[in-house]
Amino acid sequence: MGAKIEIRNLHASIEDQPILRGVNLTVEQGEIHALMGPNGSGKSTLANVLAGNPAFEVTEGEILFDGSNFMDLEPDERSRAGLFLAFQYPISIPGVTLANFLRQAINARMKAVDPDSEGISIPAFRRLLKEKMDYLGIDHKFAGRYLNEGFSGGEKKRAEVLQMATLEPKFAILDETDSGLDIDALRTVAEGVNKLVGPSLGVLVITHYQRILDYIKPDKVHIMFEGRIVESAGPELALHLEQAGYDWIREKYGTALETE
């Protein structure tokens, strides 16, 4: 049986302001889940809490990874355990090529496991990188580019997908920004993710719009509203949202707490 992430009655605050108010969600390796919901409902907060962002305080509930407590782990330990958070790395590092960046990421991981590790050898890394780029249909020249310097939206996403492919996580969380990705970037992400999905990868796609779900087919769709998951169903739920919007969710689940 594959690994799973289990989120149970998760409450989290930022600056004493409760944002997550009892989230329950289980994602298994091999499954694709979509997390949708109006802006401000807490989707990105959930991604941050899963990644271990210290700005957010977990006040109640638990997160289990493979049955063991995930909350005691530092962010880098969570990444090493197999969690990958995409869409939050588009940093530009002057003078560092994408290949170098990826090699450093692999080496950091190997050294964390074994402090005496000398990291991956250059020939072994070249083989790995070539294999992943060929699989994803990425031009080899791309790895020689300086990280994010002059990258288009689509190229940034391509770099992230390549990073995901080389790190081989068990779970990937893709948080589409509220402004949304342009079509080129969207297709790049979706094609890459579709190539990487399989029995050993679980994916949580976080999105406000259903657009990305035209390309990435979720097994399950959840709607978050006011810090809770209020509806869960199959892919038809995303199509329904596309037509109906979120008004019915506000009517059905809106509380006096709502300020907007």
Contacting positions for ligand ADP (CB under 6 A): 14-15, 19, 37, 39-45, 55, 178
CA–CA dist 126, 93 (Å, integer): 21
The token pair at 119 is 């990291």
The residue to which tokens 């995901």 are assigned: 164
Residue with Cβ nearer Mg ion (43 or 132): 43
Out of ligand ADP, Mg ion, none, which partner does residue 41 contact, by CB within 5 to 8 A per kind? ligand ADP
- CA distance from start to end of the chain: 44
Residue listed under structure tokens 């409760």: 18
The binder of 93, among ligand ADP, Mg ion, none, by C-beta within 5 to 8 A per type, is none
Please select the residue that binds Mg ion; options are 4, 23, 36, 44, rule is CB under 5 A. Answer: 44
- Residue 19 interacting entry, from Mg ion, ligand ADP, none, C-beta within 5 to 8 Å by type: ligand ADP
**Nearest distance in Å: CB 105, ligand ADP:** 26
Residue (171 or 225) nearer to ligand ADP, CB: 225
Q: What is the DSSP letter of 214?
A: G
Residue 140, C-beta contacts closer than 8 angstroms, at least 6 positions apart: 130, 133
196-212 burial string, b = 16+ CB within 10 Å, else e?
bbeeebbbbbbbbbbbb
Alpha-carbon gap, residue 246 to 224, rounded angstroms? 10
- The nearest distance, CB 123 to Mg ion, in angstroms, is 41
Cβ proximity to ligand ADP, 34 vs 99, nearer residue: 34
Residue numbers 67-96 binding Mg ion by CB under 5 A: none
Between 146 and 209, CB nearer to Mg ion: 209
